Chain A
Amino acid sequence: MTGPGKAPRRLDAASDALLAERAGDGDTAAFEALARRHGPLMRAYARRLTGSLADADDAVQEALVRCWSQLPALRDPAAVRGWMMRITARCAINVLRRRKYDIALDEETRDDPGPGPESRAVTGSSMTALGKALGRLPEAQRQCWVLRKMGGQSCEEIARTLGISTESVRGRLARAQATLIKEMEAWR
């Protein structure tokens, strides 16, 4: 991208609202500061939604381009974080849709069920087991669960994001929750 390679230090400490305003005005340094601040969350979110780190990075890249072009229209700059997360979710779902012809959704074996090798230190903990259980959920359920728990989306928002009915969202969330509870109780 163009513009200064490193944002002034002052931008790294600036509020989300200020950065969003400046980025909306065309300040690429402010935009990079926003991306550095929320990029890890966007990547983690996209990774859980897509089940793959490579797909997550594609989704983050696509989301950042969309954020940049839509920032001038953002009404509430202070709420930019949630807005970036919603865009990330839509992009992650799109990345998955683009390759859904290759793999049948619910039978897919995850190439990246979650925590990477660096997490071996906590292997065996309930948290790691939860990550794995989440990775084993049918994709449709996992997406609803991640949009709800990580993205904080309501059932209505999830329905819009995925293009399905609110009832389907509720059903998938209930099944995901039941499976996770059952597995979690088995670890105890």
Chain B
Amino acid sequence: MTPVTIGADCGRTLEELSDYLHTGSSPDAEHVHNCPQCQAGLAALRRLDDLTAELIALDILQAGRGDEPWLQNILDHLRLETRAGRAIPLAGAHPDDDLSETEGAVIALIRTVGDTLPGATIGKCWLHGDLTSAGAPVTLHLNVTAFWGHPVPGLARALRSTLSDALALHTELNITAIDIAVTDLVEDAAATPERIGT
């Protein structure tokens, strides 16, 4: 391939100038500083960078918003496999019954119940222990995003008691501990609806 040169006398390639522009260093910096052809080349490269940024911004604008039908249409046609996880045995009314619930369903329950508390959004959840043996000790670990203005110790207490009530009602897990990690502190989304957009 023939390198693209800026001008007949100078001999520096556009690629070399581009590397200089984007890395800030060149073995040839002194020449570049003093060469009018190189300076013109750098100016053109900067213009192209600026125009490219504008074009990308326009492209994204023209792609449509995420709450418009084109995306909803794509989402409606996705077939997303469910994340079942392990099977948790349940005692049946009859000895012959073979009942179980999935780990995924329990984690969904934890999210749904946890989200009802005003101060937090539930993040990732882990059930540690042998879920597939009835009565085996299980610990729940969850990441939580807390909202400003809700004292964390009280929030953790409320979350623990709400979750252990819900888990006792809807599962037969032997939950021995609920570990809560507050991984983020944010402004309460519900309290600032103007930031949401629609």
The reply on A164 being an interface residue by CB < 8 A is no
Task: Verify A64–B45 contact, CB threshold 8 A.
Answer: no
The reply on B115 being an interface residue by CB < 8 A is yes
Q: Please provide the chain B residues from 34 to 56 with a CB less than 8 Å away from any CB of chain A in the complex.
A: 44-45, 47-48, 51-52, 54-56
19 contacts between A and B (CB under 8 A): A1-B80, A9-B190, A13-B189, A14-B189, A22-B122, A25-B104, A25-B107, A26-B107, A27-B108, A32-B75, A36-B67, A40-B60, A115-B58, A127-B51, A127-B54, A127-B55, A130-B48, A174-B3, A178-B4
Q: Once the chains are docked, how many angstroms separate the CA of A187 from the CA of B18?
A: 21
The digit string for B167-194, where 1 denotes a CB below 8 A from any CB of A, is: 0000000000000000110100110110
Which A residues lie within 8 Å of B74 (CB)?
Answer: 35, 39, 57, 60-61, 64
Which B residues lie within 8 Å of A68 (CB)?
Answer: 78, 80-81
Which A residues lie within 8 Å of B75 (CB)?
Answer: 1, 32, 35, 64
Minimum Cβ distance to chain B for residue A182 (Å): 9
Which B residues lie within 8 Å of A26 (CB)?
Answer: 82-83, 85, 104, 107-108
Minimum Cβ distance to chain B for residue A33 (Å): 9
The digit string for A4-44, where 1 denotes a CB below 8 A from any CB of B, is: 00001111111101100110111110011001111111011
Assuming the contacts A24-B124, A127-B51, asked whether A10 and B45 have C-beta atoms less than 8 A apart, the reply is no
Q: Please provide the chain A residues from 47 to 90 with a CB less than 8 Å away from any CB of chain B in the complex.
A: 47-48, 57, 60-61, 64-65, 68-69, 72, 77
Task: Verify B123–A18 contact, CB threshold 8 A.
Answer: yes
Assuming A2-B80, A32-B75, A64-B78, what are 12 further A-B pairs, CB within 8 angstroms? Answer: A10-B189, A12-B189, A12-B196, A21-B123, A25-B104, A27-B108, A27-B111, A36-B67, A44-B62, A61-B77, A184-B47, A184-B48
Q: Mark B residues whose CB is within 8 Å of A.
A: 1, 3-4, 13-15, 18, 44-45, 47-48, 51-52, 54-56, 58-60, 62-67, 70-71, 74-83, 85, 104, 107-108, 111, 115, 121-125, 143, 145, 183-184, 186, 189-190, 192-193, 195-197
Task: Verify A43–B63 contact, CB threshold 8 A.
Answer: yes
Minimum Cβ distance to chain B for residue A52 (Å): 13
Minimum Cβ distance to chain B for residue A73 (Å): 12
Interface size on A, residues (CB 8 A): 64
A46 to chain B: closest residue by CB:
B63
